[in-house]
Each structure stands twice: as structure tokens, then as C-alpha cells.
Amino acid sequence: MAKLYVCKICGEPYIGGAEPDDCPFCGAPKAYIRPVEEFSALWKTEMTEEEKKNIEETLKLEVNATAYYKEVMKTQEKYSKYERLYKQLARVEQEHVDLACKFLGKEVPELKGEKSKGSIEKDLARTKELESHAVELYTGFMKRAQNSKVKILFIALIHAEQGHEEIIGKEISS
């Protein structure tokens, strides 16, 4: 029987018989997918100046990743494996942009970022670098966050970026 769920991280609704393993929108772990009645906006919170600065840095990183992944997607044959992969990566990173903007109370900026590196091998390698950097950066931000909601944000982002790292790592190895 279908039920309405909401991700406690990004606020996006999901209809299904059970919670998905990860949020299909922002990549947050299953633990954050809850019945709609349990939703409250994570981003409505007071933050320290350092937390705001860290979320600003997160926004810049996610804007670049979203724009880059959209560029790579355009270089791939329509409906091919890599076009599909980069389409989904761009969707999740776009949700991270939206989420950072919600925390900061800002409008979503124009997406400008890196261009494709010219080959799928180079683009996969650059994607791995971007995802690894995000995990490292967000781990530091999470450790320094004083606000529990900001910590939760970075825990969820780390989970999503580690998933991206894993799938890209498999592609590079194959």
C-alpha cells in the first residue's frame, strides 16, 4: 500500500510502499525518510558564523559539481549509461544546492562550473576528485558544527557523496 513519506533533510516527498534505501532526491540515508506527519524543516535554525561560512562553501562546491555534471551529461550519447549516471549525479547535486540555499535563506544562484574534460575517463577521474574532496570537507564541517541540525545536514551530505564516490570508483575500475 502506497504511503507519503518526506525526507527530513531536503523536504522532498516520496510516495511508495516503504521508505527507499536513500532519498532519491538528495541521497540522504533511509533513516531520514519519514512519514509526512513527522516532517519539520531542518533548515529553519540559528547558525553560528562559522556554520554559515561552511554552508556558503558547500554551496559553491555543489554549484560547481551540478554545472560540471550537466556539462558532462551533454557530451554523452542520449540514454547511454554515462548520460544517465551524470543526469542523476546532477539531480542530487542540484538538490544539495537547493538545500544549502534553504539553510542560508538565499535564492538559488546561476549554475556555473567546470567544463567537461574531453573524455569520459578524464571526467570520471575529475568526478572522483570532486566527490572525495566533498567528503573530506563535509567531514570537517560536521565535526566543527555546534548546531545539531547542521551536523545532520553534513552527515546526510557525506552519505550521499560517499555513494557517488563508490559508484564512480567502480566505473573507473571497470
Q: Which region holds residue 87: left if phi is over 0, alpha if psi is between -120 and 50, else beta? A: alpha
pLDDT score recorded for residue 1: 87
User: 26 with 54: CB under 8 angstroms?
Assistant: no
* One pLDDT digit (tens) per residue for the chain, 174 residues: 899 999 999 999 999 998 899 999 999 999 999 999 999 999 999 999 999 999 999 999 999 999 999 999 999 999 999 999 999 999 999 999 999 999 999 999 999 999 999 999 999 999 999 999 999 999 999 999 999 999 999 999 999 999 999 999 999 998
Name the phi and psi angles at 87, rounded to 5. Answer: -65, -45
Q: How many CB atoms lie within 10 A of CB 49?
A: 7
Domains, the chain, ordered by start: 3-38 (2.20.28.10), 49-173 (1.20.1260.10)
Q: How many CB atoms lie within 10 A of CB 93?
A: 30
